[in-house]
Amino acid sequence: MSDTTTYSWQSDLELIVDAAKQAGAVALGFFRQANEVWWKNGGQSPVSAADYAANDILSKILRQARPDYGWLSEETDDASDRLERRTLFVVDPIDGTRGFLAGSEIWCISVAVVTDGRPVAGVLFAPALRELFVAGLEGPSLKNGEVLKVSEAGTGDIHRLATAEDMIAGFGAEFRRTVERVKHIPSLAYRLAMVADGRLEGTLVKRDSHDWDLAAADLILQQAGGALVDLSGEQLLYNKPVVKHDELCGAATASMPEFLHQLASRRAS
């Protein structure tokens, strides 16, 4: 495989879009139906029959098509050999399982191709909303075929942010007055997509998000003119031994310096 700047990932993008659509159709069959549910992470996180069914479809399609790629999925036991693979699939069969089980339409299938630690193709499919977000390194982010662009809100404007109340509470009073906090969005990946399509100016992410929550949405946001970074302003790297992340900020590039400044001030106080 050649350098990521010259190699075309279009065939991989087409593959994951098709797989996400098929997994989404399967998951939709469970939506607002009685679901068998199990609890993981010490009873903190639900996983349903729909998650496993969608994961099975994705695994079958993608691993058969690219047997040389690694695999990282929320609903598959971690395979240590992924660390030996330059390229892998990073998958969340249903991002927003709690919302899915509660009957909310805000959940999505998240699939990314990651190479050398960064996403090169990504798709988020929200079947209940009939929304398909797609991005590859070769072109812009698309939502149902339309080009996405982040918000152009500037300093001093009202900032539409999706984040927890306790994060905003630590900001300076002057900045807090400019913040319009958006109510809870049950899917983190979809929340980042909302930044990509301009409905939100940014989102502040608490620690302990995972690669599978972020990788596809990261690329979609990037190709729409935004970024997902840690609090030092650095891009995320995926497929590391530990797949959890610290606090993050996803935002339009123009807004990012102000948000990071506020976050740094909050942490210092």
Residue 175 — pLDDT band, cuts 50, 70, 90?
confident
For residue 94, what are the CA distances in angstroms to 3, 134, 204, 242? Answer: 31, 16, 21, 21
pLDDT tens, 22-33? 999 999 999 999
Asked whether residue 5 carries a pLDDT value surpassing 60, the answer given is no
Note the pLDDT of residue 34.
84
Question: Average pLDDT, stretch 170-199?
Answer: 92
Segment 124-156, tens digit of pLDDT? 999 999 999 999 998 999 999 999 999 976 555
Average pLDDT over the chain, rounded to whole?
Answer: 92
Q: What's residue 2's pLDDT?
A: 47
Domains of the chain in sequence order? 10-147 (3.30.540.10), 159-268 (3.40.190.80)
Of all residues in the chain, the percent with pLDDT exceeding 70 is 94
pLDDT of residue 169: 81
The per-residue pLDDT for range 219-266, each reduced to its tens digit, is 999 999 999 999 999 999 999 999 999 999 999 998 899 889 888 877
E strand or H helix that includes residue 95: strand 87-95
Q: What does the pLDDT look like over 117-126, one tens digit per residue?
A: 999 999 999 9
Q: What pLDDT is stored for residue 154 in this prediction? A: 57
169 or 84, which is more confident: 84
Query: What is the pLDDT, as a whole number, of residue 42?
Result: 63
Q: How many CA atoms lie within 13 A of 80 on its CB side?
A: 0
DSSP 215-260: HHHHHHHHHTTEEEEETTSPBP--S-SS-EE-SEEEEETTTHHHHH
**CA Rg, the chain, in Å?**
18
- pLDDT at position 166: 84
Give pTM, 2 decimals.
Answer: 0.94
Q: What is the DSSP letter of 135?
A: E
Residue range 161-179: average pLDDT? 86
Residue 4 has pLDDT above 70, yes or no: no
